[in-house]
A = this chain, B = another copy of it.
Amino acid sequence: MTGGAEVPREASLDVIQRELTAFARRARAAAARVHPELPLVSYTLLAHIDGQRGCRATDLATHYLLDKSTVSRQVATLERLGLVERRPAPDDHRVQVLHPTEAGAEVLASAQTSRLAAYQERLRDWSADDLAQFAAYLLRYNTASPSGLPDSSPH
C-alpha cells in the first residue's frame, strides 16, 4: 500500500475529496449516536473553550470559520445548559471571556472519553504507526492555509 508513487495525483485527489466529504456527511450522525446529549458543534466549541482556558466568542468564530451569530447562539445554548459561563472582561467591556463550568468540564470529559472509545474501537486494527501517520496527514491537511481555497467572496 505504501508502494512506489504509481498512483496519479488526480486519482488520489478524487479519493480524498470523496472520502473527506463522506466523512463529513456521517460525522454529525455518528457524533449524535455517540453522545446524544451534547451536539457536535456545542461539543467542539466547549472543547475549544476548555482547551484555551477561556476565550472570546470572536475567537471561536474566526477559528472555526463560523459567523458570529452562530457562535453567539451556540454559546447561549451552552450557557443555558449550564456548561459554560461568561465573565465580562474587566479591561474591555465589549468582550465576554468564556469558561467551562464545573458541570461543563465534566460533561466534556465524559464526551471525550466515549468519543475516544468509539474511535479506539473503530481504529482497533490499525498499527500505531499508521495511526500516527494518518493523524499527521490530517493535521497537515487542516493546518494548510485555508487561503488555498477560494475563500474570499465575502458575499
Q: Which residues of A, 25-54, contact B by the 8 Å Cβ criterion?
A: 25-31, 33-34, 40-41, 44, 47
Are A148 and B128 interface neighbours, CB within 8 A?
A: no
Are B24 and A132 interface neighbours, CB within 8 A?
A: no
Q: Closest residue to A136 on the B side, CB-wise?
A: B1
The interface residues of chain B lying within 8 Å CB-to-CB of A124 are 148
Are B133 and A16 interface neighbours, CB within 8 A?
A: no
In the assembly, what is the distance between CA of A142 and CA of B18, in Å? Answer: 10
Q: Closest residue to A8 on the B side, CB-wise?
A: B128
Given A116-B10, A124-B148, A141 and B23 touching (CB < 8 A)?
yes
The number of times this chain is found in the oligomer is: 2
The interface residues of chain B lying within 8 Å CB-to-CB of A126 are 140
In the assembly, what is the distance between CA of A131 and CA of B132, in Å? Answer: 16
Among A18, A29, A47, A120, the one with the most B-chain Cβ atoms within 10 Å of its Cβ is A18
A76 within 8 A of B: no
**A121-142 interface bits toward B, Cβ cutoff 8 Å, 1 = contact, 0 = none:** 1111111111111111111111
Q: Which of B25, B26, B29, B64 is close to A26, meaning CB atoms less than 8 Å apart?
A: B64
Distance to closest chain B CB from A11 (angstroms): 8
Distance to closest chain B CB from A37 (angstroms): 13
